[in-house]
Structures are given as structure tokens and as C-alpha cells.
Copies of this chain bind each other. A is one copy, B any other.
């Protein structure tokens, strides 16, 4: 591993596992959920709130930050941590995924990808070397190789081509990384929903050697069962003593199932995006506060928590805030949702440590499937 980076497994329970990933800026307890701070802010949250919820690491998006405010500008301002008032670990993606999903006029070639900014139409170029350079300018604690990800369903030739290109870019990313002390580089397994391609990708990455291994190209339209199958196919090809990161996932059900299959790290916009759209995550399932049935419901989202957003505001008030488009609606629901996710991760780590993960997962899924507390009379 890169000097100053250590991954220590603590307990295993079946394929589920707890551990710690230690980096120069702090220790990440795994399994970990990383709130998404796209443009240098976890939307509608103060950074100290995010920390207090138990987030050991947040994610920043290279694509957004390279366009605005620009990586060189962030570097002149002391890096992304000083800039955004978050002194703890940050993982940055490579930018590739959002070039594919947000930018226009993309042209991919062997060397990299050229695209136009979704903000001002300006032309930009991303190569494995430039992506690592940007992530270095941001001074990210965990950096990701540039890869190519195809949407599913896709035919084998397209999946295989993207996987092979991603492997070649993995090698160039490793060379460009430069192994700064206490910073980690992760490779990304591609291969779509085709088991032998996933295994080939994983083995190729392991041969190059990374501090951790991500599984990319899932949660892109395929059924949950396919995602779980691909995780189960891939993890045996990855070293036990390296963290495994399932990119862009997911729902509480996704996370519980992925951890059962050996995943250690997650990121997802669901809790923050849902919070801005009137949706609350609770132990009883997702609740849509826009629904008129909440208009006179004096109960909080969940009285049995220590999060003020979940405990101290009525559903009637949240309904009013969401209907009125008030900032406080997004602020409280995002807070509630990230509190839910971080609480879930803490409970998961405790359950694995107590060798009762399967029971915990079953109970959690059962409660979550209820949909909500019983309605008021």
C-alpha cells in the first residue's frame, strides 16, 4: 500500500466485515457511507453537522470542481479541505462518470475524453493523467482512476471494450498517482453484468496493485439481483486485505445486501437529493412529506432518535415547509436522511462486531418494509 495508508480488518461475520482505513487526515470506520459533497458542499448542510452525524469521509466530484471553481484555484486556496472547511478525509471520483452523464459532446479516445461543460459549454479534456493531477490539486485523500462505464443493459463487445480501456487507464492512473504519503489510490472494476469480464477486470487491477478496489458500473439500470450477483462474483477476485468500494450505491436495502457480500464503502446522492425533494428516510421506510396526509400530523419523523431534525419538528410543519419551497424543509430532511444513513452504518458495524449481521439486516429490512408508522386515526 501507499506509505501512510493502512487498512485493518477487525471482525468478519460471513462475508460482512468491519475495519478501519487509516489515512493522513483521519481514520475511516468501515463499512462506511460517504455523503456526497458534489461542488465542495454536502448540499443544505453545514460541514460540522455532517461530521457530528459520524461521517468519517465525504465525496467530492472532480467533474464539478474542475469546472467550478477550478482545480488550480482550489489549490491556490490551500486545497479542497481548507476551501470547504472539512479537515477530514475526502474521496474524489475521477470525473469520468459525470462526463458521461452530464457533459455534452463527449468524444472518447484511447488517450482520454473531450467534452463540453454543462455550465458554460466550454471545451475540456480529461485523461487519466489529468484526472490524477486534478485530484492532487484538490489534495484528495482517496483518489480514483479514470475509467469508462457503460449503462446497462449493454452488449458484450461494448462492455468488454470499456473494461479493457479502463484497465489500460488504470495502469496510467497508477503511474500518474505518484504515491503521496497518506493518500490512497483506488482502481475500479468494470465489466458490466458479465461475470468473466468482472473477474478479468479485478485480476488485472490486482496485478497493477491499488490501495483499494472499487466496483463501478453498477446501479446503472440493472436489477438489484444482478448488482448483488456481480458483487458476489467480483469480491473473491479481490484481496481480502484491501477496502472494497461500491460506487454510487445506494438504498438501505442495497447497502445491507452489498455488505453481506463483502463491500466496505459506499457513496450515494439518495439521502441528500431525496431531502431536497421532500422525501425522508426513516427506520419505517421512505416518507414523502409532500403527501397531504401529513398536513395535520403532529408527530415527528422519528421520536426515538437524537437527531433534532428527526425528533423536534412535526410532519405537519415539514409538509408545510416542503409545500412552501422553504430552505428549512431541505435543510431538515437532508439532516434527517444523513442521520438515518450514518446511524444505519453505525448499527451495521456494531452488528458485524457482534456476529449478528444477518439477523440485524433481516430486522432492519422488515422495519423498513413497513413503509411508515401506523397512520393517525
Q: Roughly how many angstroms separate A251 CA and B366 CA in the complex, as a whole number?
A: 56
Instruction: Type the 1/0 row for A306-320, where 1 means its CB is closer than 8 Å to any CB of B.
Output: 001000111011011
Given contact pairs A312-B85, A317-B40, A295 touches B78 in the complex (Cβ within 8 A):
no
A84: Cβ under 8 A from any B Cβ = yes
**CB-CB nearest in chain B for A39:** B324
**CB-CB nearest in chain B for A48:** B308
Is there contact, CB below 8 Å, between B40 and A320?
yes
Residues of B within 8 A of A308 (CB): 46, 48
Q: Roughly how many angstroms separate A327 CA and B41 CA in the complex, as a whole number?
A: 9
**Least CB distance, A376 to chain B, in whole angstroms:** 12
Is there contact, CB below 8 Å, between A326 and B39?
yes
A180: Cβ under 8 A from any B Cβ = no
Residues of B within 8 A of A324 (CB): 39, 68
A323: Cβ under 8 A from any B Cβ = yes
Query: When the two chains form the complex, which single residue of B39, B298, B327 contacts A77, counting CB atoms closer than 8 Å?
Result: B298
Q: Roughly how many angstroms separate A316 CA and B76 CA in the complex, as a whole number?
A: 11
Q: Roughly how many angstroms separate A327 CA and B296 CA in the complex, as a whole number?
A: 28
A174: Cβ under 8 A from any B Cβ = no
Residues of B within 8 A of A320 (CB): 39-40, 68-69, 83
**CB-CB nearest in chain B for A69:** B320
Q: Roughly how many angstroms separate A270 CA and B178 CA in the complex, as a whole number?
A: 51
Residues of B within 8 A of A84 (CB): 317
**Least CB distance, A321 to chain B, in whole angstroms:** 6
A218: Cβ under 8 A from any B Cβ = no
A164: Cβ under 8 A from any B Cβ = no
Instruction: Type the 1/0 row for A26-45, where 1 means its CB is closer than 8 Å to any CB of B.
Output: 00000000000001110111
Is there contact, CB below 8 Å, between A85 and B43?
no
Q: Roughly how many angstroms separate A151 CA and B314 CA in the complex, as a whole number?
A: 39
Is there contact, CB below 8 Å, between A296 and B76?
yes
A130: Cβ under 8 A from any B Cβ = no
Query: When the two chains form the complex, which single residue of B40, B43, B73 contacts A296, counting CB atoms closer than 8 Å?
Result: B73
Query: When the two chains form the complex, which single residue of B41, B68, B312, B331 contacts A44, counting CB atoms closer than 8 Å?
Result: B331
A330: Cβ under 8 A from any B Cβ = yes
**Least CB distance, A305 to chain B, in whole angstroms:** 16
Is there contact, CB below 8 Å, between B326 and A331?
no
Given contact pairs A39-B326, A69-B320, A327-B331, A83 touches B296 in the complex (Cβ within 8 A):
no
**Least CB distance, A319 to chain B, in whole angstroms:** 8
A328: Cβ under 8 A from any B Cβ = yes
22 A–B contacts, CB within 8 A, in A order: A39-B320, A40-B317, A41-B321, A41-B326, A41-B327, A43-B326, A43-B328, A44-B328, A46-B308, A68-B320, A68-B323, A69-B319, A69-B323, A73-B316, A76-B296, A77-B296, A77-B298, A77-B316, A83-B316, A83-B317, A85-B312, A276-B327
